[in-house]
Amino acid sequence: MLKGRHLIEPEDFTKEELDEIFTLANSIIENQNMYLHSCDGKLLATLFYEPSTRTRFSFESAMLRLGGNVVGFSEPGSSSVMKGESIADTIRTVGSYTDIIAMRHPKEGAPKLASMYSPVPIINAGDGGHQHPTQTLTDLLTIQNIKGNFSNLTIGLCGDLKFGRTVHSLIKALSRYENNSFILISPQELRIPPYIKNVLDDKNIKYIEVEKLEDVIGDLDILYMTRVQKERFFNEADYIRLKDSYILDSEKMKLAKEDLTVLHPLPRVNEISYEVDNDPRACYFRQVKFGMYVRMALILKLLGVE
């Protein structure tokens, strides 16, 4: 039963509960008209304590497409936060006006704190470098729709694997399904943190760590790209030596399988060349749309409306 629950981190829901959400999301994709008035009279609050156009638009579009309405702020400067109001007080107030709250905050754990005071469901829309569970739901729905299931996949994750929260959540989520293996492609400085390796080790899941994308791209079923920022490198020489390894272009795509799926949480900067956009294996803009559908399904489930 998902009605009235909060979503703070991807593990808050069981595999079965995630399946419920994906089934509903697929039903919405097939017949959007059926859900046009599902949330009539319902109000979503989007409390964005730091700017994030993409995620906020996704939540707001999701609610509006369900017939509901939206209130909120897109930066704390235009809210009572500037007057020094605590998160607990803001949430108790907003929770009295609205039916469900999507919250983004630069401080880690802020949505968890909010969930302790909120009379309505809280959805974590990203808390600093910590969790971004609706991105994980988005990634999973995309994979399910394109690959058909979440098992027997070789997943490559490329770029900043140390600080990339979407990468950590996705590895944890896919490690719950059978017979997946991971190829972790990053410079030495940006390798996956030990606690994620522990998750894989504990479950006896196969993974290797490599430095160059071109060496392994031919083995992958899914390639999840993330941005590598120059300032994350310890020295300029390593950056120059490795930077092109983390840029996906047509040359590297020639080495990949025909049914590779390329994903990216977006926004991209230069880690995927524009020439790749026309390749049918580039699925990152489809992924964005799945993000809206999965948020529609999530809102319906947490409100208990279907």
Partner 1 sequence: MLNIDSIANGIVIDHIKVGYGFKIFNYLGLDKADYRVALIMNVPSKKYGKKDLIKIENVMDLDLTMLGFIDPNITIAIIEDEKIKEKIHLSLPKKIENVIECKNPRCVTSIERNIVHKFVLVDEEKGIYKCEYCDHNYDGWEG
Choose, from 46, 55, 142, 261, the residue flagged as catalytic.
55
Choose, from 104, 227, 252, 264, the residue flagged as catalytic.
104
CB of 127 to partner 1, least distance (A): 8
d(CA 29, CA 57): 18
Element housing 240 (H / E): helix 236-242
Give the residues lining the site for partner 1 (CB under 8 A): 86-88, 105-110, 112-113, 127-130
Torsion (CA) 172, 177, 183, 186 in degrees, nearest 10: -20
Choose, from 42, 105, 130, 132, the residue flagged as catalytic.
132
Nearest residue (CB) to partner 1, 67 versus 109 = 109
Nearest residue (CB) to partner 1, 130 versus 264 = 130
Whether 37 is a known active-site residue: answer no
Nearest residue (CB) to partner 1, 103 versus 174 = 103
The answer to whether the CB of 52 falls within 8 A of the CB of 104 is yes
d(CA 165, CA 162): 8
Count of residues making up the chain: 306
How many other C-beta atoms can be found within 10 angstroms of the C-beta atom of residue 284?
19
Whether 104 is a known active-site residue: answer yes
Nearest residue (CB) to partner 1, 115 versus 261 = 115
CB of 6 to partner 1, least distance (A): 13
102 secondary structure, DSSP code: E
What are the angstrom distances between the C-alpha of 17 and each of 5, 22, 249, 295, 298?
A: 11, 9, 37, 14, 10
Nearest to 139 by CA among 283, 299, 297, 20: 283
What are the angstrom distances between the C-alpha of 111 and each of 21, 91, 120, 265?
A: 21, 10, 12, 21
Widest distance between CA atoms in the chain: 58
d(CA 149, CA 51): 34
Nearest to 159 by CA among 212, 207, 83: 212
Whether 130 is a known active-site residue: answer no
Nearest residue (CB) to partner 1, 60 versus 127 = 127
Nearest residue (CB) to partner 1, 66 versus 113 = 113
The answer to whether the CB of 294 falls within 8 A of the CB of 138 is yes
Whether 83 is a known active-site residue: answer yes
Q: Which residues are catalytic?
A: 54-55, 83, 104, 132
